[in-house]
């Protein structure tokens, strides 16, 4: 939870608000209604101020309405974050965050949030040109030596390090072992260079392990 919130630089109340707006059945919602929907653990939060902060950060968008109070709706980024909260992070249990954070506050470091949710022993497939596809196996997942950034309390948040096997070189079919480090910012943007010692082929594999060229 800490790594998720720190990676997106939002508070637990902010994440809860993003989730409430994204899961609302209405196209938009006013802050008065939003305040009533927030769990009792967040009732002391100034919903209007928080909504404006989330608008400035790009998670929510203001919506012009006949109502005199501020109305908001989800941005594309807000919907993505809400999906990650529901599917890969901690469901609707943000109200438990404060208690859990206090319980586990003795940990000396954090690992950044993993948008791909890689698991040891998992096999992924990367797509290449002309319909080519390679299988990659995740062998080990740990924290890298590089610091992604520091939390507000000074605790370092490290990149993630993966040890991976390409199970068949695109040219000769031999296994290729490699490792690399990534974070939420690099996962879908950067590529790791791969070299096959057997045939000499060099290619690039995206940090998300889904594309190569």
| SS3 per residue for 83-137 | HHHHHHHCCCCHHHHHHHHHHCCCCCCEECCCCCCCCCCCEEEEECHHHCEEEEE
Same domain, 38 and 79: yes
What separation in angstroms does the CA of 97 have from each of 39, 100, 105, 159?
12, 5, 11, 23
To the question of pTM greater than 0.75 for the whole model, the response is no
Same domain, 87 and 172: no
For residue 69 the two structure tokens come to 């109070």
**At which residue do the structure tokens 């990659």 appear?**
136
pLDDT score for 98: 78
Same domain, 83 and 119: no
Same domain, 15 and 33: yes
Q: Which of 44, 46, 79 is nearest to 61 (CA)?
A: 79
pLDDT tens, position by position, 2-60: 778 888 889 999 999 999 999 898 889 999 999 999 988 887 899 999 999 999 999 99
Same domain, 55 and 143: no
Q: Is residue 22, in this structure, part of any structural domain at all?
A: yes
pLDDT score for 166: 97
Range of the domain at 15: 2-103
Same domain, 7 and 42: yes
Same domain, 99 and 6: yes
13, 15, 16, 20 alpha-carbon torsion, rounded to 10°: 140
| Burial of 165: CB neighbours in 10 Å, binned 0-12, 13-18, 19+ | middle
Same domain, 191 and 148: yes
Counting as low any pLDDT under 70, the low residues of the chain are 88-93, 104-107
pLDDT score for 41: 86
For residue 27 the two structure tokens come to 């196209």
Give the CB-side neighbour count of residue 170, counting CA atoms within 13 A.
Answer: 20
Say how far apart CA 202 and CA 213 lie, in whole Å: 9
Q: Is residue 213, in this structure, part of any structural domain at all?
A: no
For residue 124 the two structure tokens come to 């992924």
Same domain, 115 and 99: no
Q: What is the DSSP letter of 212?
A: B
Same domain, 11 and 99: yes
Q: Is residue 30, in this structure, part of any structural domain at all?
A: yes
């Amino acid at each position: 939870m800490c790594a998720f919130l720190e990676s997106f630089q939002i508070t637990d109340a902010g994440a809860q608000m993003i989730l409430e707006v994204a899961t609302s059945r209405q196209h938009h919602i006013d802050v008065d209604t939003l305040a009533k929907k927030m769990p009792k653990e967040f009732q002391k939060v100034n919903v209007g101020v928080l909504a404006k902060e989330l608008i400035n950060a790009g998670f929510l968008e203001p919506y012009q309405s006949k109502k005199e109070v501020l109305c908001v709706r989800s941005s594309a980024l807000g919907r993505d974050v809400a999906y990650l909260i529901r599917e890969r992070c901690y469901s609707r249990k943000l109200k438990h965050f404060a208690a859990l954070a206090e319980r586990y506050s003795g940990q000396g470091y954090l690992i950044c949030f993993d948008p791909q949710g890689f698991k040891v022993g998992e096999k992924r497939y990367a797509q290449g040109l002309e319909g080519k596809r390679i299988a990659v196996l995740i062998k080990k997942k740990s924290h890298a030596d590089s610091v992604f950034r520091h939390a507000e309390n000074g605790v370092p948040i490290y990149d993630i390090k993966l040890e991976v096997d390409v199970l068949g070189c695109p040219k000769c079919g031999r296994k290729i072992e490699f490792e690399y480090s990534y974070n939420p910012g690099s996962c879908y943007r950067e590529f790791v260079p791969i070299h096959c010692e057997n045939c000499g082929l060099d290619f690039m594999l995206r940090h998300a392990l889904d594309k190569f060229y």
